[in-house]
C-alpha cells in the first residue's frame, strides 16, 4: 500500500500548471457513447477515475487509443449495454453511462455506483428524470434494469433538487430523444456547460432558455468532433489554498479566472494578495489570515469539493470561523484527522466551528475520501516535522501528479511503498 511522506514548514513558490478537469471529462466520456463516429478529446487528466471510465467504455465495446495526449474514441462497433459493478463500484460517475445507452439502444443494465463515502447521493433523481422520457426500470440485486419500449421521448422535467449528476445524465439522454425536452432546476456547474459545449460541437441542439432551464431538441446522430476539456477548477482552487496556507507565492497557469471568481473573492477577503491575467492567477499568501464564515452551495456558490482544503486554511485564521456544508451530509470526515494534528474543530450537524491560530503538528494520518486526502497534505505542508498520509488511492482518483507538482514549487514530499 502506497503512502505519502510530507515534511512541512516550507513556503510554496513557483508555477503550477493546472490539468484538465476530471469532473468535466467523466460526463463527456460517457456522452461519447451516443456517437458511432470518432471522437477526439484533448486535455484529459491522467487520474484514476478517468482510467476507470475508459475501462468502463472499453467493456461496453468502445475502441479507445491515445495519440500524443489525444484520446481517440471509436464507437462504430459498440453494442454492449451492461455496466458491471466491478467497474462502477469505485466511481460515482459510472451511472452516467445509463442515459446514453438508453438513448442509443433503448435498454441497459447498469450497476448502482460507488465512489467516496461522503454522503448518500441517491440516483433516484436520475431515474425519475429518465422515467419522464419514457424509461421503465427495476432495481434488482444492485443493478438498474432499464428499458425504453418506444425509445426516449422528449418531455418537460423539473429536478426535485439541484443535482450535477442527474443534470448530466438527462442532458446526454435527451440529445437523441424524439422531440423537445425542457430541463429545469438544472445544475449549472462549469463542467456541465463544458458537456453542453461538447455536444453542441458534435451537432446536438441545446440552448439555455433561463438561468437553470435548458431546451434540448433531439437529433438522430452525433458528428465526428475534436474537443478540448476545460481546466480543473478544484485542482486550481486547491493550489490557491495551498499558497495561502503556506504563505507562499504561486502562479496558477492554464485557468479561466472568472470561472472561480467566488473562490478568488473569498481568498482576497481572508487576506491573500491576488492578481489576475487572461489564463493565470498570481497569489501571494498573507502572514495574517482573517476568519470568515462560508457555506457550500451549488455553482456559483462555494464548492463542496474545496470545503476540506478551506478548513485547513481557516485553522490559521486570527479568530473562529464557521463552515456550513449544505451539499453532502457526511463531508466532515477529515475533521478527526485535522484535530489529531492539533486543530480545534467541533461539528454539530452540517456546521463546523473552526478555531484559529492553530499550529499543526506532524502526525500519521488516514485519508477518508478524495478531497479529505488533499486537505491532510495541505495541513502537513504547514506542520513541523514529517507527516505520513495513508490510503492515498483516494488522492490518485482526482489529482494528477500531485507530489511532482508540489515538489516543483518547493514542497518536501515523497511517495513510498
Rounded to 10°, the helix 307-314/370-382 angle is: 20
Q: Is the peptide bond before 289 cis (omega within 30 degrees of 0)?
A: no
Distance separating alpha carbons of residues 214 and 171, to the nearest angstrom: 9
Distance separating alpha carbons of residues 129 and 160, to the nearest angstrom: 10
Secondary-structure breakdown of the chain: helix, strand, coil percentages, each rounded to the nearest 5: 35, 30, 40
Structure letter (DSSP) for residue 229: P
Q: Which of 116, 186, 204, 315 is catalytic?
A: 116
Structure letter (DSSP) for residue 313: H
Distance separating alpha carbons of residues 357 and 162, to the nearest angstrom: 36
Q: Distances in Å between the alpha carbon of 58 and those of 33, 40, 53?
A: 11, 16, 9
Q: With contact defined as beta carbons under 8 Å apart, do 389 and 367 qualify?
A: yes
Q: Which residues contact 198 (CB under 8 A, 6 or more apart)?
A: 28, 31, 225, 227
> Strand, helix or coil at 73?
strand
Q: Decide if 116 is catalytic.
A: yes
Tally of CB atoms within 10 A around 40? 15
**Longest CA span, the chain:** 64
Residues classed as catalytic: 116
Amino acid at each position: 500500500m502506497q503512502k505519502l511522506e510530507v515534511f512541512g514548514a516550507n513556503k510554496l513558490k513557483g508555477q503550477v500548471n493546472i490539468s484538465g478537469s476530471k469532473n468535466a471529462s467523466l460526463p463527456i466520456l460517457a456522452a461519447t457513447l451516443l456517437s458511432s463516429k470518432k471522437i477526439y478529446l484533448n486535455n484529459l487528466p491522467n487520474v484514476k477515475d478517468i482510467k476507470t471510465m475508459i475501462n468502463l467504455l472499453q467493456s461496453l465495446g468502445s475502441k479507445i487509443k491515445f495519440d500524443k495526449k489525444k484520446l481517440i474514441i471509436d464507437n462504430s462497433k459498440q453494442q454492449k449495454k451492461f455496466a458491471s459493478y466491478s467497474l462502477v463500484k469505485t466511481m460515482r460517475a459510472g451511472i452516467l453511462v445509463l442515459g446514453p445507452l438508453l438513448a442509443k439502444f433503448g435498454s441497459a443494465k447498469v450497476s448502482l455506483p460507488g465512489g467516496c463515502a461522503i454522503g448518500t447521493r441517491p440516483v433516484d433523481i436520475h431515474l425519475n428524470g429518465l422515467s419522464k422520457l419514457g424509461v421503465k426500470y427495476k432495481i434488482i440485486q444492485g443493478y438498474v434494469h432499464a428499458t425504453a419500449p418506444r425509445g426516449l421521448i422528449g418531455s418537460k422535467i423539473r429536478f426535485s433538487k439541484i443535482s450535477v449528476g442527474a443534470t448530466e445524465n438527462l442532458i446526454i439522454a435527451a440529445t437523441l430523444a424524439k422531440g423537445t425536452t425542457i430541463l429545469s432546476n438544472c445544475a449549472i456547474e462549469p463542467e456541465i456547460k463544458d458537456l453542453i459545449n461538447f455536444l453542441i460541437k458534435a451537432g446536438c441542439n441545446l440552448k439555455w432558455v433561463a438561468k437553470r432551464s435548458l431546451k434540448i431538441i433531439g437529433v438522430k446522430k452525433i458528428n465526428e468532433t475534436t474537443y478540448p476539456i476545460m481546466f480543473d477548477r478544484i485542482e486550481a482552487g486547491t493550489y490557491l489554498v495551498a499558497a495561502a496556507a503556506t504563505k507562499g507565492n504561486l502562479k496558477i497557469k492554464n485557468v479561466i479566472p472568472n470561472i472561480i471568481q467566488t473562490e478568488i473573492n473569498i481568498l482576497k477577503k481572508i487576506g491573500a494578495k491576488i492578481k489576475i491575467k487572461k489564463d493565470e492567477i498570481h497569489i501571494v499568501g498573507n502572514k495574517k489570515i482573517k476568519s470568515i464564515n462560508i457555506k457550500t452551495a451549488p455553482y456559483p456558490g462555494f464548492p463542496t469539493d474545496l470545503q476540506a482544503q478551506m478548513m485547513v486554511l481557516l485553522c490559521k485564521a486570527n479568530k473562529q470561523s464557521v463552515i456550513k456544508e449544505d451539499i453532502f451530509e457526511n463531508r466532515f470526515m477529515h475533521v478527526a484527522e485535522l484535530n489529531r494534528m492539533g486543530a480545534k474543530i467541533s461539528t454539530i450537524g452540517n456546521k463546523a466551528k473552526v478555531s484559529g491560530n492553530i499550529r499543526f503538528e506532524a502526525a500519521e494520518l488516514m485519508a477518508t475520501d478524495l478531497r479529505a486526502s488533499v486537505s491532510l497534505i495541505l495541513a502537513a505542508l504547514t506542520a513541523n516535522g514529517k507527516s505520513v498520509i495513508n490510503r492515498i488511492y483516494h488522492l490518485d482518483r482526482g489529482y494528477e501528479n500531485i507530489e511532482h507538482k508540489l515538489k516543483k514549487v518547493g514542497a518536501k514530499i515523497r511517495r513510498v511503498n
